[in-house]
Each structure stands twice: as C-alpha cells, then as structure tokens.
Amino acid sequence: MKIVMLGAPGAGKGTQAKMIADKYQIPHISTGDIFRANIKDGTELGKEAKSYMDKGQLVPDELTVKILLDRVAKDDCKNGYVLDGFPRTIPQAEVLEEALNNLQDKIDYAVNVEVPDENIVRRMGGRRACLSCGATYHIEHIPPKTEGICDRCEKELVLRDDDKPETVQKRLDVYHEQTQPLIDFYNKRGVLKEVDGTVDMKEVFAAIVNILG
C-alpha cells in the first residue's frame, strides 16, 4: 500500500500520515527526514543534496526522487509506505511516477485532507507557544490554565510569526498555486481519495481507514 498524503499546510496531513503508518505498520516518509538522514550518514546522495542546500538552492526533483527511491527500496517498505510532503508540484509527481513505472510500481492512494482556508487560518492563528520551555497550546483546543501564561514555566505565551494570519494565508496561496494541481493529477489516475479534515482528528482517521480497508 503506497500512499501520498495531500492537504494544505495546517490541514493535519502529517498527523494522519503518522497514524496510518502506525496502524498499517508501514514507514512514514518525509523528504525532510530522509534528506537529513542522508546528509548525516554522509551518503553520496546526501553529499549531492547538501551541495545544493549549502548554496541556498532547491534540491532538483530528479535528485529528490533518487533519494526517495533509495529509501523506499529498503526492507521496511516492502509492504508499502506513506509519503508526506512529496510530491509538492506536478513536475515532482511526474518524475516520481516515471521512476515508479520503471520499477513496475505505482502509487495506490493519494489521500487529500480537505480543509477550507478560513479554518486553517483560524486553527493556526489560535496556536500559542512558550519560547522559554517549548510548550505549545491552542486557545480553543488546548488552552493554558491562565490566559497567555505557560502552565509549565509561567512565562508569557506568544503567537509565532509562522502562525500569524497573513503568513498562513501566504503559505496557503503558494499551496493553491503549486500543490492544488496534484489533486487533478491523481484524480485522473483514479487513485485520489478525499476526506473532510474539518472534523475531529479521530473521525478523519476513521474515514481514511474506511478508504484503505
């Protein structure tokens, strides 16, 4: 079972990917993690990726897919895997598809966690963080005992720049421009499955399990 997770930043696809990986005993693979692992281990692919990153350049899609294929060739992926954060664009999806075709392989499911922009802006705008001890809260879902004060260390809680509505909306605009077309791409291949990401996390997961069987 080879799965691609789709969804806007803040839609909760990473959380769902981890839950899928746990239930089906398959690896949760994020490109960030495998880049870091290859760079840390000093592999040839890692050195090549690092040469781009050191210059502040994006790692080319072909190299990203090479690193990804190297990861999914490992024994723990024989029953499948969940890809989280890749592909992000149509060219990446095409390079991945071609590489898998060459191995007589393909993506079985592209699961899109659907959440409207306004929900995401509200969800992320409600986050609060303690810069002192690293604790995180949400003013609606996990509020601190005293408003604006960390339960653990009693320091002030802040709204991170990343979670400010204008920043979140910019990230969503980039997502709609670059990643939204992937929904059509996987729909044409007959593997797209959509779930309502506005409901409780457990309900979202139940809907995904219902699809995957």
The residues assigned a catalytic role are 13, 88, 127, 160, 171
Nearest by Cα to 65 from 90, 98, 38, 40? 98
Q: How many residues does the chain have?
A: 213
Residue 174: both structure tokens together: 């980039």
Nearest by Cα to 196 from 185, 188, 187, 208? 208
The distance from CA 207 to its chain's CA centroid, rounded to whole angstroms, is 18
The one-letter amino acid code at 202 reads K
Q: Exposure string (b/e) for 86-117, b if CB count within 10 Å is 16 or more? A: bbbbeebbebbbebbeeeeeebebbbbbbbee
Residue found by looking up tokens 């592209």 in the block: 110
Residue 191: both structure tokens together: 């593997």
Nearest by Cα to 5 from 41, 37, 38, 31? 31
